[in-house]
Amino acid sequence: MAHNAIELHSLGYSVHRKPFFNLQKSVSSLLLLRLQVKGNCRVSLNGRPYEVGPGDLIFSKPSETYQLTVDASPGKESADYYLFCEGEWIARWLAQGGFPDCVRIEVNDDILSLWRRLIDEKRNLREDNSELMDYLLKALCLTLERSIRRRAGHDASSDLYMPYRIKRYVEQHATEPLTLEEIAKQHGISVSSASHLFKKTFKLSIIRYAVEVRLAVAVERILHTELPLEHISESCGFRSYPYFCRAFRSRYRIPPSQYRTDHRASHA
């Protein structure tokens, strides 16, 4: 591969009309870009799950594990654009960009036309179009980056909308390890701004809300499964079983074991 060049290994437009699942895998040198344009799917990156919808752009970076699950059917299609590439320029672009694993962007004609043109040129085997494809891929990457920056700037400037984005993120990731630093980074703002805006809107802290969501999930599992309480505590994101019991008692006034016994007896 020539100095400073980009190697485009594969790309295309994929439509799923029936369930699809790929095995978890990683490629040491390749970047995967995947843009969901229709329907929904689930993606796992390094073991972290993401619910993906139209406009969500996935960055599966070199050496990361990637797993895709699509629950599609003839009347419920899932469609996406994807590409695998590598090269010195790509490595620098990733290092400088600091892109999240999954980010929502505005899907516009600039992005789609560049992706489609790349697909057409990749199929053109009669001409030496490597330089053209190199420029097209760079243009696509930079256009995606501009869309990410514009979306982040617009959202970050909206003090009214930001707390609801944080709230939704906490609800989606409450059972995972969460830190204020991670939440703030995902939304492109400082920890102090995230904490202030959230508490101003919802009258409680971000971490306290995460605990409330975890407790709500725990209650469902206590009532509707036979899982041991220690397992429920761990699977709902609590750092220790004693902490789970203290939080549960503080919220519901009784320990989780008694809650399970009392509520099951009342529904017997």
- Write down the pLDDT at residue 234: 96
- Of 209, 74, 82, nearest to 144 by C-alpha is 82
- Write down the pLDDT at residue 18: 87
Helix (H, G, I), strand (E, B) or coil at 21: strand
Helix (H, G, I), strand (E, B) or coil at 73: strand
Calpha distance 125→146 (Å, rounded): 31
Q: Which residues contact 235 (CB under 8 A, 6 or more apart)?
A: 175, 221, 227
- Write down the pLDDT at residue 221: 94
pTM: 0.57
Q: For the chain, which residues make up each domain, given as ranges?
A: 6-156, 159-268
- Write down the pLDDT at residue 156: 52
Classify domain 159-268 by CATH architecture.
Orthogonal Bundle (1.10)
Check residue 26 and give left, alpha or beta (phi > 0: left; psi -120 to 50: alpha): beta
CATH class of the domain defined by 6-156:
mainly beta
Calpha distance 253→258 (Å, rounded): 10
pLDDT in tens, 95-110: 888 888 899 888 888 9
Calpha distance 146→140 (Å, rounded): 10
Q: Where are the beta strands (DSSP E) in the chain?
A: 6-16, 20-21, 31-38, 41-45, 48-52, 56-60, 66-70, 78-87, 102-104
- Write down the pLDDT at residue 24: 64
CB 253 within 8 A of CB 262: no
Calpha distance 199→206 (Å, rounded): 7
- Write down the pLDDT at residue 1: 45
The DSSP secondary-structure symbol of 85 reads E
- Write down the pLDDT at residue 127: 80
Low-confidence stretches of the chain (pLDDT < 50) are: 1-3
